[in-house]
Chains A and B, each alone.
Chain A
Amino acid sequence: MIVTTLPDRVGRPSIVHNALRDTWLVAHRDMSQWVREPQLIVWGLLFPVVSVLLFAYVFGSGIVVPGGGDYRSFLMPGIFVQAMVFGIGETIAAVQADTAKGVTDRLRSMPIARSAVVSGRCLANTIYSVLSLLLLVICGLAIGWRWEGTFLEALGAFGLILWLRIALLWIGIYLGLKAKSPEMANGIFGLLWPLTMLSNAFIATSLMPTWLGVIAEWNPISSTINAARELFGNPGVATSTWIGEHSVPMAILWPAVIMALTMPLAIRTFHRLNR
């Protein structure tokens, strides 16, 4: 039998380098899956596209944008953020499946950076979300959405949208580690719908009953959507309330708060797998 002389771990100059390399490799696994079985991600990627068509052409004709303006231009930032929120479901399902199949344990029993098990998942999901955003931008451009402001402002808007996604990752990882079955992971998907509907994603909050409008405005995702509309120069930016007026700082703050709450919880749950 030919046996390779096994080297020690090669090219491992520092702890940080190791952690980054391991993170990349764990994420790389997801991407290899996408290449082998594109149908795995095609449905997830197409779903927001279906939302665009549904809202732009079916519901859109009956929805008014306060202050005038094209509904499709109003809609797209909401769709972008909706895709980020639905990403929670992807994260939960992936983390739950890895834990149930023992892949998480295998990684935990290997001499790799401990953090890479979680950060690799984060990276893979973030890359997926960037793909999803790219697809939706193309779709938006095709139905007449444009960013009216500068390119830098548009980049800022995408930055805020991804910032929210990164914050929501930790909710997904936490719930994924807690979920005992794929059914539970799927069930949480169902809860994400009302979460996005109860925001300014599809209808301006000023058109809702007052109490509902307040709840929707204070929904953290509304701040990101409103900030994105503002930066893209899209219509329907709510500025009549305090939270509407401060949407950009709030779009930075809300995800930070979400992360401050859920990241320690997720990391603690990961460490408690040892108990």
Chain B
Amino acid sequence: MIAYSVQGSGAAIAADGLVKRFGDTVALDGFDLEVAPGTVCGLLGPNGAGKTTAVRILTTLLWADAGAASVAGYDVETEAHSVRAALGLSGQTPAVDEILSGRQNLVLFGRLNGFSKAVARRRADELLAQFELTDAADRAVKKYSGGMRRRIDLAVTLILAPAVLFLDEPTTGLDPRNRNEVWQAIRRLVSQGTTVLLTTQYLDEADQLADRVAVMDRGTVIATGSPDELKARIGGERVEVLLADDVRLEQAMAVIEQATGVRAEPYGDGGERRVSVAVNDRVEGLTAVLTGLVAHEIAVTDIGLRRPTLDDVFLTLTGHRTEPTEAETTTEEREEVMA
């Protein structure tokens, strides 16, 4: 696939100190990011962290109050038209015409991208095949499943074979099967050398798809690294212990810390009985915790291993948990509607 080349040798996406306010709300507060050409960057953060605002500025839909940004070497404000020619954007909700068929959407947006009727039709056929939508090509998009909608939306985004692709929460609201379909489609694109910026609330999604992850909180990037680096920082998996009673919580925490060499934390509801600790090796960690507790005769009701969640990343990086916001309620409502 032909991708328009990134201007110069610099980053495919660069943001420097972006600030964006909506009234009294500060959505972006000094947002910095650099994405190398041909890589996948996962922008990870809870709702309200500013992910979508960052994407909207980078895709020329919003102007920043301060700071600068470029995509494919073009300034997003002064060279917006060139940026638009280089980017593909797939927003949080599939932005295709629901009444028209998948093929009609592809031809329409292909023609809007400057293709003749014949080229737009040929390109539509290719993309339908690529996204396994050929059988549904002439059905109205509103009759598509959630995963199919996502795929036709991605196909429309890829008509021009953009050099830089922005995917804003591409799997939010999808069930696991549809999520897999979309992941596979994204992987194929990545293998063809497209630069991708992907926002997500799910650590496993970033883990599956991204070369590098930028963790966002309250309008800024608080950490960047490969998924493995980040997981190492938060200590891979966690051992969770439910104590039989709350009397010996302090002692249990001290014992666990001594056994693993990592700080243990109370967690969840009923935090007075629950302790969790990050471990690098599943078996060793579990054994060490259990051995320590047994040696000190601390009774345990339940013990288990859990993969790190976004919540753990946040707790480790920021010291506070992800707080559900108003925006999150909206997303959940949308998920229900789509389900």
Contact = CB atoms under 8 A, between A and B. Distances in A.
B293 to A, nearest CB: 52
Interface footprint category on A: 35 or more
Contacts of B85: 111
Contacts of A102: 91-95
B97 interface: yes
B123 A105 contact: no
Contacts of B1: 3
B182 interface: no
Interface residues of B, number: 43
A108 B60 contact: yes
Interface string A82-103: 0000000000000000000111
A109 B166 CA distance: 11
A144 interface: no
12 contacts: A3-B2, A3-B126, A4-B119, A9-B114, A10-B115, A10-B116, A25-B111, A33-B97, A109-B89, A112-B112, A112-B113, A273-B61
Query: Per DSSP, are chain A's interface residues mostly helix, strand or loop, or mixed?
Result: loop
Interface of B: 1-2, 59-63, 81-82, 84-85, 87, 89, 91-101, 104, 108-109, 111-116, 119, 122-123, 126, 129-130, 140, 156, 160-161
A152 interface: no
B119 A274 contact: no
Contacts of A111: 81-82, 84-85, 113-114
A32 B160 contact: no
A105 B91 contact: yes
Q: What 3 pairs between A and B have smallest CB-CB spacing?
A: A9-B114, A102-B95, A111-B85
B108 A28 contact: yes
Interface string A143-165: 00000000000000000000000
A102 B157 CA distance: 13
Contact of B130 (A1, A6, A7): A1
B161 A110 contact: no
A37 interface: yes
A105 B100 contact: no
Contacts of B98: 101
Given A3-B2, A40-B99, A108-B61, A25 B108 contact: yes
A9 B154 CA distance: 21
Contacts of B115: 7, 9-10
Interface in A92-140: 101-103, 105-112
A110 B62 CA distance: 14
Given A3-B2, A25-B108, A33 B99 contact: yes
Most chain B beta carbons < 10 A, residue from A37, A109, A112: A109
Contacts of A4: 119, 122-123, 126
B112 A26 contact: yes
Nearest to A28: B108
A36 B91 contact: no
A111 B126 CA distance: 21
A23 B92 CA distance: 26
Contacts of B63: 274-275
Given A109-B59, A109-B60, A29 B113 contact: no
A230 interface: no
Nearest to A271: B63
A22 interface: yes
Contacts of A29: 97, 100, 108
Nearest to A102: B95
A220 B63 CA distance: 38
